[in-house]
Amino acid sequence: MTGILVAAGLSLLVSFVLMPPLIKILYRFKFGQEIRDDGPQGHKTKQGTPTMGGIVIILGAVIGYFGAHVATMTPPTVSGLLVMFLFVGMGCVGFLDDFIKIYKRRSLGLRSGAKMLGQVIVGVGFAIGVTMFPNNYTYTPGSTHLSLLRDFGPPMAVWLFVIWALILIVATSNAVNLTDGLDGLATGAMILSLVAYVVIGNWQLRQSCVNALEPNCYTVRDPLDLAVVAAAALGGCIGFLWYNAPPAKIFMGDTGSLALGGLLVGLAITTRTQLLLLVIGGLFVLITASVIIQVGSFRLTGKRVFRMAPLQHHFELRGWAETTIVIRFWIIQGLFVALGIALFYLEWMPR
Binding residues: 177, 254
Query: For helices 185-206 and 158-179, what crossing angle results, to 10°?
Result: 140
Q: Cis check for the bond before 141: say yes or no (omega within 30 of 0).
A: no
Three-class DSSP category at 53: coil
Q: What residues contact residue 70 under an 8 Å CB cut-off, 6+ apart? A: none
Residues paired with 202 in a beta bridge: none
| Burial call 316-338: b when 16+ CB within 10 Å, e when fewer | beeeeebeebbeebbeebbebbe
- How many residues are there in the chain? 351
Asked whether 72 and 39 are in contact (CB, 8 A), the reply is no
Known binding-site residue numbers for Mg(2+): 177, 254
Asked whether 190 and 230 are in contact (CB, 8 A), the reply is no
DSSP character at residue 250: -
